[in-house]
Amino acid sequence: MIEVFTSREALADAAADAVSERLAARGPGALVAAGGSTPGPIFDRLSRRTLPWEDLTVTLTDERWVDPSSDDSNEKLVRGRLLVDEAAKATFLPLKGPGPTPEADAERADARLATLPSRAVVLLGMGADGHVASLFPGAPELVVGLDPDAERLCIPVPRPGLAPFVPRLTLTARAILRGELIILTVTGDGKRALIDRIAGDPAYAPPAATFLRQDRCPMRVFWAA
């Protein structure tokens, strides 16, 4: 069921409220956040919320395998817009590490993600092609990436099909579905049509369909024009 908002600002307010509600109680918790353009306003709102940030771990649904100082880095986005003000007290778990390869970093992140608190909220985005995190349609990584029972929690994506064409690291469906709540935030008519098509056509199965059709983790879909 899609929750429709009258503006992107109202969507961002609602997403920040939904995350805050779930992570307001003391004790270990996690926020797993997407990159891209949609989460920025949500991060701005969350950073000012009075939550037990010192108990919370923030990590990413995916990352570009670039230096954290790069404008392509999701870590840079999160450090700049979420881990400031109140939220500066949170612990950050980066996916990009010292390397030397994307696979080495993915293995390192795999081990650290295994220790993430079960009380986790995932802020998920979706691309216009139906990708989620860095799980792209037709990609060879989908065999493991979309398997809810895969061994891995984080895998490398050496040759993503979308710009920026740098290697990526992505959480797998198993990692994303380990949370207590997924909030999928999408904007624009094109993505609304894609969500509706996934709901209406079982044969249509871009990566987002894995998450929209599962019953392992409660999911809310927020949409604004």
Q: Answer for the pair 97, 105: CB distance below 8 angstroms, yes or no.
A: yes
Q: Which is nearer to ligand 6PG, 55 or 154 (CB)?
A: 154
Shortest Å, Cβ 15 to ligand 6PG = 12
Point out which residues bind ligand 6PG (CB under 6 A): 34-38, 61-62, 74, 125-127, 131, 133
N- to C-terminal Cα distance for the chain?
Answer: 16
Q: Answer for the pair 53, 19: CB distance below 8 angstroms, yes or no.
A: no
Q: Which is nearer to ligand 6PG, 30 or 55 (CB)?
A: 30
Q: Which is nearer to ligand 6PG, 37 or 69 (CB)?
A: 37
Q: Which is nearer to ligand 6PG, 38 or 47 (CB)?
A: 38
User: To 10 degrees, what angle do helices 39-47 and 74-81 make?
Assistant: 40
Does the N-terminal peptide bond of residue 164 adopt cis geometry, omega within 30 degrees of 0?
yes
Q: Cα–Cα distances in Å, from 2 out to 84, 193, 196, 221?
A: 31, 12, 9, 5
Shortest Å, Cβ 54 to ligand 6PG = 26
Shortest Å, Cβ 208 to ligand 6PG = 10
Shortest Å, Cβ 190 to ligand 6PG = 10
Residue showing the smallest CB distance to ligand 6PG in the complex: 125
Q: Which is nearer to ligand 6PG, 29 or 160 (CB)?
A: 160
Q: Answer for the pair 93, 32: CB distance below 8 angstroms, yes or no.
A: no
Shortest Å, Cβ 148 to ligand 6PG = 18
Q: Answer for the pair 105, 65: CB distance below 8 angstroms, yes or no.
A: yes
Q: Answer for the pair 51, 89: CB distance below 8 angstroms, yes or no.
A: no
Q: Which is nearer to ligand 6PG, 35 or 167 (CB)?
A: 35
Shortest Å, Cβ 164 to ligand 6PG = 8
Shortest Å, Cβ 52 to ligand 6PG = 26
User: To 10 degrees, what angle do helices 8-23 and 39-47 make?
Assistant: 50
Q: Which is nearer to ligand 6PG, 64 or 174 (CB)?
A: 64
